[in-house]
Amino acid sequence: MEKTIMTFHVDTSTGKKIGIAELSGRLDAISGSELQKSFRLWQQETRDIVFDCVKLDFIDSSGLGAVVSCLRKALEQSSDLRLAGLSKNVSMVFELTKAKKLFSIFPDTREAIKSFSTGNPA
Amino acid sequence: MKTLIVIREQEYEWLYHIFPDPHPLLIPICNKPFIEFLIDFSILAGSEAIRLVSDGSLRDVEHYCEQGSRWGVQISYGSMQESDDLDAVMEKNRRYCSNTRVLIIRGFVFIRYDKQNNYKTLFTSLPPGELRRCSHGSLTFTGTPGVEEQAPGPAPLSLVGLETIGVYYELCNEILRGGSLPYVLPGYSNETDCHIGRNVVMSKSCEIIKPVIIGNNVQILAGTVIGPGAIIGNNVIIDRESTVTESIVLDNTYIGEHLDLEKRIASGNILVEPESGAAITMEDPHLLTGMSTRRVSGALLHTLVHIIMAGLLIALEVIPFLLLLPILKLQGKWKKSRNTYYTSTSGNTVTLSTSAIERSGPLSLLAAALSLDRFPLLFRVFSGELALIASQPIAATPASRATLSRMSGYRAGVFSYAEAEDWPVEGSDTAIVERFYATHGNALLDIAMTWKALFNRVHEKQNV
């Protein structure tokens, strides 16, 4: 079974602190739970976060639930969670479940980071 | 007149990569298998016999069409080599093609026709030669015309080469929007753009927007929106609050709750974006999954397995039950209550004496760990009033009747799937789990789930 790898760093290239969480592999019930735990820690470092999903191959309903839960936590703190680089597979799941309407989604991380400065959600 | 249909495997094999099942020649176009359109057209053209020739396997097609008695024509099947050209195919079918006019349909092509035209008369007077051609096939006549030759007029038909999933999707949409005037489409209809099959159960709160075609054995649950531009196949469940617009749901597909299917093709657990041709296999059965039709033999096996398992559990638990019950009763830790529950979605009820064990002290903990509180219910499996494992029994009250009507596939069980999955036994999530297993359960899975439920109950008690 392919493992989910989550790495996190803070980007300051636009003068704002934006957390970049790179998700790769599969996002399911197990890794979704890990993501939620990690998200709490990431929120202590930075308000706004981008999930870089370029290397995310698979997401199921539990994984999607975890991402939505992260968004809810971000909104509760008056911050935001944006998504970038969704693959076709992942994007189709977001469309199918109407989750695409909930998120600001960008073609790549650079665009997502820039959107926080321009105040222009996708 | 006779018809010779020549289709090479390489022309339709692309469909296997997207939909491994059914055979590409049986792929439904507006719920009607592709091959039936060719048969209909051949009959309209005046053919009394049809021969289908391919270098690929035609077993499934032969199984479906048989000898053609359903259409009142003689259907036969032939094989060819991959390297055979049309002349070689004609030579191999010389006896079939001799002494008569033959309409040759070559390629994996859909023929756009209109059933209201008299093709029989038109084709009788056409000279031999190619009538229509597209990049993926052609229509050709051989043999002498029945009446004096006439210059070929503009025959009201055209060819569409089925080369990509996008073309297939567009073709289905075109037929759906054109309605049943040019073609014979399955299902009941008193309007040209709305066809509904047999045994379609629709919730009062669902919305159906034309044009729409719905197949046989379809359940459309509460709050769903079907259409415009939806083609729903046979044996499909569209679960609550989902939307299907400008999409095709092929046979044997379950669409989960709260989903939005727009400009997509769903077949089993495969979801296709027709525009790009991208297809993904959904691994999450709560979103999209295939469904197998439970046959009578399957249902019988299912019941038999439940009875055997119940018998086994009774044999294992009878001694602990007889020993512990009097003690727990004396201690006042065995509490009984009587209530009436729904047994299935039909609304039949059963009155059950259910027991609860107060979990204090080693004996009551042991009794609870062994699930002795469920022991008396196991006998109800023999009478068929309860399943060994199914849904949590719903108390029969006027309020719960509405809940029952939404619980597709509900059956009361001694143990519940929610217990097996270690989910809280109340709430909407439980309903999803139980509905999923009600649809996808099988005898083997039920054995495993029963042991899981028993194990979880032991585990649950140890934590108390």
How do residues B247-304 score in pLDDT, each as one tens digit?
A: 999 998 999 888 999 999 999 888 899 988 888 877 777 777 766 555 555 678 888 8
For the domain B2-163, what is the CATH superfamily, name and number? Spore Coat Polysaccharide Biosynthesis Protein SpsA; Chain A (3.90.550.10)
- Flag whether pLDDT at B409 surpasses 70: no
Does a cis peptide bond (omega within 30 degrees of 0) precede residue B20? no
- The pLDDT of residue B245: 95
Half-sphere exposure of B236 (CA within 13 A, CB side): 30
- The pLDDT of residue B402: 61
- The pLDDT of residue B343: 85
Token pair recorded at residue B81: 């080599």
SS3 A68: helix
- The pLDDT of residue B464: 35
Query: A61-87 burial by CB neighbour count: b if 16+ within 10 A, else e?
Result: bbbbbbbbebbebbeeeeebbbbbbbb
Between positions 275 and 314 of B, the ones with CB within 8 A of A are: 276, 278, 280, 282-284, 286-288
Closest residue in chain B to residue A89, using alpha carbons only:
B280
The Cα of B256 is separated from the nearest Cα of chain A by a number of Å equal to: 9
Please state, in angstroms and rounded to a whole number, the distance separating the CA atoms of residues B401 and B405: 6
- The pLDDT of residue A21: 95
Q: Which of A28, A89, A96 to mutate to test the interface with B (most CBs of B within 10 A)?
A: A96
Which sequence spans correspond to the domains of chain B? Answer: 2-163, 188-290, 296-463
- Flag whether pLDDT at B203 surpasses 60: yes
Q: Which of A27, A61, A88 to mutate to test the interface with B (most CBs of B within 10 A)?
A: A61
How do residues B31-55 score in pLDDT, each as one tens digit?
A: 999 999 999 999 999 999 999 999 9
Please state, in angstroms and rounded to a whole number, the distance separating the CA atoms of residues A29 and A2: 14
Mean of pLDDT values over A23-27: 91
- The pLDDT of residue B463: 41
Residues 6 or more apart whose CB falls under 8 angstroms from that of B355 comprise B334, B335, B336, B337, B372, B373, B374, B376
- The pLDDT of residue A98: 85
**A97 to B258: CB separation less than 8 angstroms, yes or no:** yes
Give residue ranges of A with CB < 8 Å to any B CB: 58, 60-62, 88-89, 92-93, 95-98
CATH number 3.30.750.24 is the correct assignment for the domain at A5-116: yes
Is B260 an 8 Å CB contact of chain A? yes
CATH number 1.20.950 is the correct assignment for the domain at B188-290: no
Select from A80, A31, A84 the least CA-distant residue to A59.
Answer: A31
- Flag whether pLDDT at A85 surpasses 90: yes
**B260 to A89: CB separation less than 8 angstroms, yes or no:** no
- Flag whether pLDDT at B434 surpasses 50: yes
* B358-363 long-range Cβ contacts below 8 angstroms, 24+ apart: B358/B332, B358/B333, B358/B334, B359/B461, B359/B464, B360/B333, B361/B331, B361/B333, B363/B324, B363/B327, B363/B328, B363/B331
- CB-count burial class (<10 Å; 0-12, 13-18, 19+) for A93: buried
Q: Which among B260, B261, B283 is the nearest to A60, CB-wise?
A: B283
% chain B with pLDDT above 90: 39
- The pLDDT of residue B431: 64
- The pLDDT of residue A1: 52
More confident residue, B345 or B81: B81
- Flag whether pLDDT at B228 surpasses 50: yes
- The pLDDT of residue B214: 95
- The pLDDT of residue B189: 84
How do residues B315-365 score in pLDDT, each as one tens digit?
A: 999 999 999 989 988 888 888 888 888 888 777 888 888 888 888 888 888
From chain A, pick out residues whose CB is under 8 angstroms from the CB of B238: none
- The pLDDT of residue A113: 92
Same fold, B2-163 and B188-290: no
Phi, psi values for residue B53, rounded to 5°: -120, 130
How do residues B141-193 score in pLDDT, each as one tens digit?
A: 888 776 555 555 566 889 999 999 999 999 999 999 886 688 999 988 888 78
**B271 to A60: CB separation less than 8 angstroms, yes or no:** no
* A40-44 long-range Cβ contacts below 8 angstroms, 24+ apart: A40/A73, A42/A8, A43/A73, A43/A74, A43/A77, A43/A79
The Cα of A25 is separated from the nearest Cα of chain B by a number of Å equal to: 14
SS3 A28: coil
Please state, in angstroms and rounded to a whole number, the distance separating the CA atoms of residues B318 and B312: 10
Mean of pLDDT values over B95-99: 87
Which ipTM score applies to this complex?
0.75
Element (H, E) at A85: none
